[in-house]
Amino acid sequence: MSSSNDQNPPIRLGVVAVIERREKFLVIRRSEHVIAPLRLCFPGGGIEPGESEPVALRREVEEELGVAVHPVEKIWECVTRWRVHIAWWRATLQDSAHLVPNPDEVAEVLWMSLDEMHASDELLESNHDFLKHLAAAR
């Protein structure tokens, strides 16, 4: 687990879906209308008060991509330098699922390999930290 300064507790909680299919990961390009516009990241978002991580994950992916996901297990967590505590969850979606990006939140949907993500300078910083963790775990 990555952490930040313990004197500065997280100001927000978030959850991220790590969905892998045929050695590629589901990645979104954020819309122009959200924080960190047009950056690449795994789908996910904020956890609302009273929500569990799995419930928030399902809601966020449904809002962003119009599909149902199945949270499998939490595989990592970190606190970003912006004091956002992020829980990274391995999740699945049905092969037949038709992704419908919400244009208010998502500009583009991509399936990217680890190498493609590592090489991208458009990937959010916390996603690079997760990729380092994932590489070490494999």
Q: What is the CATH number of the domain that holds 130?
A: 3.90.79.10
The reply to whether 3 falls in a domain is no
* Model confidence at 29: pLDDT above 70: yes
* Model confidence at 1: pLDDT above 90: no
d(CA 11, CA 16): 17
Domain count, the chain: 1
Which burial class, exposed, middle or buried, applies to 103 when counting CB atoms under 10 A from its CB (0-12, 13-18, 19+)? exposed
The reply to whether 7 falls in a domain is no
Predicted TM-score of the model (pTM) = 0.91
Q: Which of 26, 27, 31 is nearest to 107 (CA)?
A: 31
The reply to whether 48 falls in a domain is yes
* Average pLDDT, rounded, for the chain: 93
Give me the pLDDT at residue 37, please. Answer: 96
Give the range of the structural domain holding residue 60, as residue numbers without chain letter: 12-137
Give me the pLDDT at residue 10, please. Answer: 75
d(CA 16, CA 14): 7
CA 55 to chain centre: 14
The reply to whether 41 falls in a domain is yes
Phi/psi for 70 (5° steps) reads: -115, 110
The reply to whether 101 falls in a domain is yes
d(CA 35, CA 99): 22
**CB contact at 8 A, 65 and 100:** yes
What pLDDT digit, counting tens, does each position of 76-128 carry?
A: 999 998 899 999 999 999 989 999 999 999 999 999 999 999 999 999 988 99
Give me the pLDDT at residue 137, please. Answer: 85
CA-atom Rg of the chain in angstroms: 14
* Model confidence at 21: pLDDT above 50: yes
pLDDT band at 9 (very low <50, low <70, confident <90, very high): confident
